[in-house]
Copies of this chain bind each other. A is one copy, B any other.
Amino acid sequence: MPRIVTIRTVAERAGCSIATVSRVINRSAPTSADVEARVRAAIDELGFRPSEIGRALKTLKTRTVGVLIPSLTNPVFAASVAGVQAAARERRHTLLLTATDYDPGAEAELVETLVAQNVAGLVLTVACASQNATLDLLEAESIPFVLVHNEPEGDARAAVCVDNAAATSALTEAMIAAGHRRIAYLAGRFATSDRSLRRYEGYRAAMQKAGLVAAAPLELDYLGDAPSHAAALAGLFGEASAPTAALCSNDLLALSVTGALRDLGIRVPDHVSVAGFDGIALGRAMSPSLATVDTPTRLMGERAVEMLFEMIETGAAPRVERLPFSLRPGGTLAAAPKRSRRQDPTPPTPLNP
């Protein structure tokens, strides 16, 4: 039988008014021990559970946090959502989760869906945090939100992220220190993504500082598979003066690129070194392990929730919090080969013919 059990049922059973029941439940006012015991007994016997809906309608606030991410399939977002979930649970809040499937056009509609549910606040990762109509809307309605992964300019919007430019610079410098001079930059489909842009900037700065030529980013379809990437990479890495290293804008791309190079008969890291960005757990498990920038993804989700509740409870002003990152050395990043691959005595043979 469904829940015909309301606060009224409990009140009748306990022989008191619904107001008293409410007071017992929420400890919002003192009640006599006698009545309280009767109410609690009635609640247990009836299996009563206060309806969040009734409560929400009254207070116009729900105990839910809206979450918007590009995709759950990317471990980076899954990890930050896991952090959001854990932190929200500590505050007795539930997650209302939506994903855009990498369609920036879907952001607005999905956020409105969440807003219509009267979420207490939002934690979201958008394609681009600057000049984002959706975020403007949230601000206009003064609905608190915190960005994750996005790195907006200034402190106008609350965000938890890493210093993408600095991290990519550090990674680039590590490649240069390993002897690489021709380093390609491979980006996922969305060059418009703010973090992707910042990462590229970091790469460019490091290259320039070292007196090297920063290549234009080669854009690969983020959602493409290894074969499609192999086709796109064949040209670049078939040239006489092909790059000896590939910096990928994120780990998922790096994994795919590694596989694509392998399919082309190009050995990683003997012929070409590869590095990613994010630090997904499975980069550690593969062999050779993936060199990357380790970012505290889960922690970012947790911090975002903490910041969100600060804003809700104390009206704290938005700010950008940059969490520490670290370089993760990995087997995919080795010293640059001494000779050009074309003169290699043992010609590479495709491993997956």
Most B C-beta atoms less than 10 A away, residue of A50, A82, A286? A286
Does A285 lie within 8 Å of B97, measured CB to CB?
Answer: no
Could you say which of B1, B98, B258, B259 contacts A94, with CB atoms under 8 Å apart?
A: B98
Knowing A82-B73, A95-B97, the reply to whether A287 touches B285 (Cβ < 8 A) is no
Does A97 lie within 8 Å of B97, measured CB to CB?
Answer: yes
- Residues of B within 8 Å of A82, CB to CB, are 71-73, 99
Instruction: Indicate how many identical chains form the complex.
Output: 2
A44 within 8 A of B: no
- Residues of B within 8 Å of A117, CB to CB, are 52-53, 64, 94
- Bitwise, A100-118 to B at CB < 8 A (1) or not (0) is 0100000000001111111
Could you say which of B51, B52, B285 contacts A259, with CB atoms under 8 Å apart?
A: B285
A125 within 8 A of B: no
A35 within 8 A of B: no
- List 9 extra interface pairs beyond A49-B115, A86-B101, CB under 8 A: A53-B62, A72-B72, A75-B75, A75-B78, A85-B97, A94-B97, A256-B285, A258-B285, A259-B287
**Which residue of the partner chain B has the closest CB to A297?**
B73
Does B53 lie within 8 Å of A142, measured CB to CB?
Answer: no
Alpha-carbon distance between A17 and B285 when the two chains are bound, in angstroms: 63
- Bitwise, A230-258 to B at CB < 8 A (1) or not (0) is 00000000000000000000000001101
Knowing A117-B53, A287-B286, the reply to whether A98 touches B73 (Cβ < 8 A) is no
- Bitwise, A32-66 to B at CB < 8 A (1) or not (0) is 00000000000000000111111011001010100
The minimal Cβ–Cβ distance linking A220 to chain B, given in whole angstroms, is 15
- Residues of B within 8 Å of A226, CB to CB, are 285
